[in-house]
Amino acid sequence: MFENNNIYMGLSEKGERVYMNLSQCNRHGLIAGASGTGKTITMKVMAESFSAAGVPVLLCDIKGDVSGLAEPGTDNEGMQKRIEKFGIKDSFSYRSYPTVFYDIYSKGGHPVRATVSDVGPSLLAQLMELSDVQTGVLMTVFRIADDKGLKIIDLKDLRAVLNYVSEHRTEYTTTYGNIATQSIGAITRAIIPLENEGGNDFFGEPALDIRDWIRCANDGRGIINILHCVDVIRSPRIYATFLLWMMAEMFEVLPEAGDGEKPKIVMFFDEAHILFKNTPKALVDSIEQTVKLIRSKGVGIYFVTQSPADIPNQVLAQLSNRVQHALRAYTPAEQKAVKAAAQSFRTNPDFKTEDAILELGTGHALTSFLDEDGSPQIVQKTAIICPESLMGPCSDSTRSRCISDSPVAGKYDNYVDNESAYEVLEKQNAAAAEAEALRKEKEALEAELEKMRKEQEKAAEAAQKKAEREAEKKKEADKKKADRRKAKIESQLISTGGSLLRRGILGILKGKK
């Protein structure tokens, strides 16, 4: 509950009010504890308080019950006793808070999308579980895409660019180095499980503008942005990628703000252990650096998980405002985690911290917040105050109303497939295919013309040979005719000559008589 410019978190064992200093809330925090110990209630109390202070909030709703912030709580005898206990009878009222719902899968809120280029090759490689060599090839592919003006918006763009680089890899060897086909193949195969986990829903446009989360309602309260994660938590790689991208995007987009009277936005990351499970050291270092520097942008990050041991030490060291609910210690590893959690608090001489962690009841926690000077307060056993909103999920009608009335209604709801690498390369491939078809058509035409030419030459040759044969035949016929005529003439001459000779001889003979 927000009062006196601070956040009233609950009562200590001595009945004193425990406050979290609003001006120190960008120093980040941790809410830890076993299942069922009250982490969600603590998170909701903080979210309500930040909203009342005019600070926008982002919450990850893993189980669906955080959505109750959109409806006022319900009265009962138990609540009346708690209200009386915390001394808030005059200021407490059951109320809803300005809420906008988001969902990567578009089921429980406005779609949340990011482009593949915005996520970048480093985070994408971690998401796809690529080796160092494959990560290097992916970075090269992104560089080639940038140099060629190919926008990688969604996964089909990434697949198209990978195919393009594979087909032209020999052309790029001199400029970009060797690009192994095996690595290209491995990266392409890694897209399939990413698609199966909902990557086609997350990667695309219109991409989320982080600044839409930094809004206040008309009454001045900060809007609580609830990311519906009931479905996406089953795809932990998508969930982790989204959260890591979001931190990086906040750091990139927001200007320097320094230490102000209150944060610009506070983000709660539930099931935070997913961010660090099997995460490469280089990426953990990047998260640590982002968490360390993002507070200067006015952003407070609160990790919510079962045990502080779920968070790497270098990140845990940045979490100054702490709420530790009860832990269970049935195994040596759990006992070690309890001891580590106890050692992270500034000691209170009134109790042993390690024992207190094991003895806390539901709704109670060990708390330690920064004072106005930025120094951690001593740890205190604290009964956490009750929320004003509904302790449970909101109704479907309330969710639908919040979605339709939200300030971003219609902005992200419809997927837009703008021209990007896939379309550009498809056009290039289509143009190349058309050019190839024209080339083949030209070659076929030329071959047909050549065939016709040869057939014409063959026909002309045959005609010439026929003409020659006919001429030869005619010549032969004429010769034979001439020979026959000559023979006839000769025969006639001989016949005539013979007749004359006979007559001459007869004449001579007659004269002698």
**What is the full DSSP assignment across 355-366?**
HHHHHPPTTEEE
State how far the alpha carbon of 62 is from the alpha carbons of 199, 236, 272, in Å.
19, 11, 11
Lowest average pLDDT, out of 155-159, 214-218, 262-266, 428-432, goes to 428-432
pLDDT at site 205: 94
If DSSP codes are grouped into helix, strand and coil, which group holds residue 60? strand
b/e per residue 165-192 (b: at least 16 CB within 10 A): bbeebeebeeebeebeeebbebbeebbe
CA dihedral 59, 245, 341, 383 (to 10 degrees): -10
Answer yes or no: is pLDDT of 122 > 90. no
Calpha distance 397→406 (Å, rounded): 14
Calpha distance 45→97 (Å, rounded): 12
Higher pLDDT, 432 or 264: 264
Calpha distance 84→92 (Å, rounded): 10
Calpha distance 103→120 (Å, rounded): 21
Angle at 303 between CA 6 and CA 241, to 5 degrees: 135
Answer yes or no: is pLDDT of 196 > 90. no
Sign of the Cα torsion 419, 422, 424, 429 reads negative
Average pLDDT over residues 30-35: 93
Average pLDDT over residues 152-181: 92
Calpha distance 55→48 (Å, rounded): 10
Average pLDDT over residues 341-364: 91
Q: Are 165 and 141 in contact (CB under 8 A)?
A: yes
Answer yes or no: is pLDDT of 294 > 70. yes
pLDDT tens-digit series, residues 33-84: 998 899 999 999 999 999 999 999 999 998 888 999 999 999 999 899 999 9
DSSP of 304-344: EES-GGGS-HHHHTT--EEEE------SHHHHHHHHHHHHT
pLDDT tens-digit series, residues 220-237: 999 999 999 988 888 877
Calpha distance 258→27 (Å, rounded): 11
Calpha distance 69→398 (Å, rounded): 11
pLDDT at site 511: 67
Average pLDDT over residues 299-304: 94
**CA neighbor of 1 nearest in space, from 49, 41, 51:** 49
Element (H, E) at 197: none
Answer yes or no: is pLDDT of 513 > 60. no
Residue position matching structure tokens 């669906």:
64
Q: Are 275 and 240 in contact (CB under 8 A)?
A: yes
Average pLDDT over residues 315-343: 89
86 C-beta neighbours (distance < 10 Å), count: 19
Answer yes or no: is pLDDT of 100 > 80. yes
b/e per residue 267-293 (b: at least 16 CB within 10 A): bbbbbbbbbbeebeeebbebbbebbee
State how far the alpha carbon of 72 is from the alpha carbons of 10, 97, 98, 388, in Å.
20, 8, 11, 7
Answer yes or no: is pLDDT of 509 > 80. no
Residue 421 tokens, joined: 């690498």
DSSP of 237-281: HHHHHHHHHHHHHHHHHSPP--S-SS-SEEEEEESTHHHHTT--H
Provide the CB-side half-sphere exposure for 119 (13 A, CA). Answer: 30
Instruction: Determine the residue type at 113.
Output: R
If DSSP codes are grouped into helix, strand and coil, which group holds residue 13? coil
Answer yes or no: is pLDDT of 512 > 70. no
Helices marked H in 66-180: 77-85, 116-127, 132-147, 155-167, 169-176
Average pLDDT, the chain: 89
Residue 382 tokens, joined: 């604290």
CA dihedral 246, 250, 252, 257 (to 10 degrees): -160
Higher pLDDT, 314 or 367: 367
pLDDT at site 279: 67
- What's the full length of the chain, in residues? 513
**CA neighbor of 67 nearest in space, from 227, 231, 214:** 227
User: Looking only at Cα atoms, what is the longest distance across the chain?
Assistant: 197
* Class of residue 397 by CB neighbours under 10 A (exposed 0-12, middle 13-18, buried 19+): exposed
Confidence of residue 247 (pLDDT cuts 50, 70, 90): confident
